[in-house]
Amino acid sequence: MIKKEITFFANRLILACDANCNKAWGINNRPKISLSDDVDDVAYLADEELLDAPDDPGTYEGECAKPIDIMELLNKWCARECERSVLVKIGEKIILPDYSKRVYNQPWKHVKDSV
């Protein structure tokens, strides 16, 4: 895990991620499957179901693209687009998304004990 203290909309927060950039598609481009007629009822595919993500998945935050160099890590793209990162209050426990399995957008419908 890597983390960095940042200012995000005038709040001091911790931006953290698993540093597995080769599997970072961006939340808007990560391959997913629909689970019902509800457009928000999707499962994002697990890392093992996917090839490596492209270096440029085609999503940007301001002037920032997905980092391809270690010196660019934890930029605006990471904070606002990367599906592998989280923003937490300073001192709060960091729990990263787990893409070793599918991630459900509405887990209460599909995952037992998700509440």
pTM for this model (two decimals): 0.88
Q: Kindly tell me the number of DSSP H helices and DSSP E strands found in the chain.
A: 1, 6
pLDDT value of residue 114: 62
Comparing 27-31, 34-38, 61-65, 102-106, the range with the smallest average pLDDT is 61-65
- Is 115's pLDDT higher than 80? no
What pLDDT, in 10s, does the model give residues 67-76? Answer: 988 888 899 9
Chain-centroid distance, C-alpha 114: 19
The mean pLDDT of 87-111, rounded to a whole number, is 95
Alpha helices by DSSP H, listed for the chain, are 76-80
